[in-house]
């Protein structure tokens, strides 16, 4: 039995704690916040094996340049000389190739399918009711260009063994008869699922604490001591934490924590927004992706969560209401009867998705510090990939054969 310290209590950190505690290790999780509203709480709650195309893809460069001149656009990179953006941007450009997309498909598929299976297993555990619903996701499109792109994606998905189908408008209406549609059609990502993220996080926290996992809130890492090829201590102010092994799972704060160890973890925070509205009629039963608008809509807990945008910039607390307005205005273009109100500032949730420049997460043991495992950089798929990452972290820690090949995810790549 080893003593393990996990830095970060988002879905990745808590999933790692879950599988490590099942192996009998003594686990402590520390987080700089109170763990009530991190990125794992406010996301769209989607489990997405369909997302086997990384953010770094050829079309994103051209599209991203166009979007930079639109204040309501779903994707924006704020130009800056510091904060790691130049290095991130150069690598993003280098990786935005068809070859990279092709090489990433199988690793991302395998990671996602493992995670979906583990979510299904978790939902069978006593007390783990977090609204897991396996009716897929509908990706709606309004233009011929998007229809062609989605059809190509669906064809590739089927080749990868994923269950997806191109639907006509009539077939879409048959699936959700209470929703009025103004679309050309949709692809049904039948391989996908969704859940209620708040309930999942609350349930995980309660379970872990009952199992004796020590969850330490409101303790920000201020210093990390290393000796040779090992971490020797982690400081949170005046408190000193020592363990046999360590996990870095601090989301968008991972680069700052890594620098305290003399490591470079290349990530940029991608700010996303979401808000909730009551939906007593429960007209939407299957989550939706609005292809051109890049908006996600998920029914959860008697409400609908609307989310979107990806602002690549330094961590900041500013809410760009123009981007929230962009989400609001896009919805009735696809669903004329769904007309969300522009939320007031206090009702807008935002979080930072830790985005690697090649669109793949970092999962693996550090090449420089041998008692450190890195688990970060999952971008928009943090919740979706949480259980799989947690299981892999536990297997890496104990020298077991990993459930899937992790070569594509190694931090040293």
Q: Reduce the DSSP state of residue 165 to 3 states and report it.
A: strand
Rounded Cα distance between 116 and 194, Å, is 10
pLDDT bin (cut points 50, 70, 90) of residue 171 is: very high
Which residues are within 8 A (CB) of 128 and not within 5 positions of it... i.e. 6 or more apart?
A: 122, 203, 207
pLDDT computed for residue 55 by the predictor:
85
β pairing state of 303-312 and 268-278: antiparallel
**Which of 43-52, 169-178, 277-286 bottoms out in mean pLDDT, i.e. has the lowest?**
277-286
Bridge partner list, 34: none
Given a cut of 90, whether residue 177 has pLDDT beyond it is yes
The DSSP element (H or E) to which 116 belongs, if any, is: helix 98-123
pLDDT bin (cut points 50, 70, 90) of residue 216 is: very high
pLDDT tens sequence across 35-54: 987 777 788 999 999 999 99
Residue-averaged pLDDT of the chain: 93
Rounded Cα distance between 66 and 73, Å, is 9
pLDDT computed for residue 71 by the predictor:
61
pLDDT bin (cut points 50, 70, 90) of residue 151 is: very high
Q: Residues for the chain: how many in total? A: 413
Stretch 61-84: mean pLDDT, rounded? 68
pLDDT tens sequence across 218-269: 999 999 999 999 999 999 999 999 999 999 999 999 999 999 999 999 999 9
Stretch 50-71: mean pLDDT, rounded? 75
pLDDT computed for residue 314 by the predictor:
85
Question: What is the separation of C-alpha 265 from the centre of its chain, rounded to a whole number of angstroms?
Answer: 17
CATH number where 193 lies: 3.50.50.60
pLDDT bin (cut points 50, 70, 90) of residue 61 is: low
pLDDT tens sequence across 285-323: 999 999 999 999 999 988 999 999 888 888 888 898 999
- Residue 36, classified by CB atoms within 10 Å of its CB into exposed (0-12), middle (13-18) or buried (19+), is exposed
CB 286 within 8 A of CB 250: no
pLDDT computed for residue 184 by the predictor:
98
Stretch 365-373: mean pLDDT, rounded? 98
Domain total of the chain: 1
Provide the residue range defining the domain that includes 139.
3-409
pLDDT computed for residue 104 by the predictor:
97
pLDDT computed for residue 128 by the predictor:
95
Q: Reduce the DSSP state of residue 66 to 3 states and report it.
A: helix
Rounded Cα distance between 253 and 273, Å, is 18
């Amino acid at each position: 039995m080893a003593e393990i310290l996990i830095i970060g209590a988002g879905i990745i950190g808590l999933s790692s704690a879950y599988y490590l505690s099942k192996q009998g290790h003594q686990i402590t999780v520390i987080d700089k916040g109170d763990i009530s509203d991190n990125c794992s709480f406010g996301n769209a709650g989607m489990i997405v094996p369909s997302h086997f195309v990384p953010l770094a893809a050829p079309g994103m460069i051209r599209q991203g340049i166009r979007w930079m001149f639109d204040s309501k656009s779903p994707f924006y990179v704020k130009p800056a000389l510091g904060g790691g953006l130049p290095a991130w941007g150069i690598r993003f450009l280098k990786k935005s190739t068809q070859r990279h997309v092709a090489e990433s498909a199988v690793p991302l598929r395998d990671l996602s399918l493992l995670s979906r299976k583990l979510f299904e297993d978790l939902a069978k555990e006593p007390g783990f009711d977090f609204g897991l619903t396996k009716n897929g996701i509908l990706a709606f499109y309004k233009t011929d260009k998007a229809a062609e792109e989605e059809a190509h994606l669906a064809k590739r998905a089927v080749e990868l063994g994923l269950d997806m189908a191109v639907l006509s408008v009539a077939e879409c209406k048959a699936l959700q008869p209470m929703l009025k549609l103004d679309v050309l059609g949709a692809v049904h990502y039948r391989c996908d699922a969704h859940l209620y993220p708040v309930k999942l996080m609350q349930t995980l926290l309660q379970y872990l604490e009952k199992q004796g996992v020590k969850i330490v809130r409101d303790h920000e890492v201020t210093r990390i001591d290393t000796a040779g090829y090992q971490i020797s201590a982690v400081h949170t102010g005046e408190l000193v934490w020592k363990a046999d092994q360590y996990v870095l799972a601090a989301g968008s704060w991972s680069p700052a924590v890594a620098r305290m160890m003399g490591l470079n973890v290349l990530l940029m925070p991608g700010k996303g927004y979401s808000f909730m509205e009551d939906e007593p009629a429960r007209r939407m039963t299957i989550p939706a992706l609005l292809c051109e608008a890049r908006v996600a809509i998920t029914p959860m807990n008697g409400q609908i969560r609307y989310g979107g945008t990806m602002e690549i910039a330094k961590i900041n607390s500013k809410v760009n209401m123009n981007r929230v307005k962009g989400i609001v205005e896009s919805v009735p273009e696809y669903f004329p009867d769904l007309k969300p109100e522009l939320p007031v500032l206090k009702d807008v949730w935002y979080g930072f998705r830790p985005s690697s420049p090649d669109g793949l997460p970092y999962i693996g043991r550090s090449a420089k510090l041998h008692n450190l495992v890195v688990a970060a950089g999952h971008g928009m798929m943090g919740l979706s990939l949480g259980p799989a990452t947690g299981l892999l972290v536990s297997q890496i820690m104990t020298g077991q054969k990993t459930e899937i090949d992790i070569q594509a995810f190694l931090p040293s790549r």
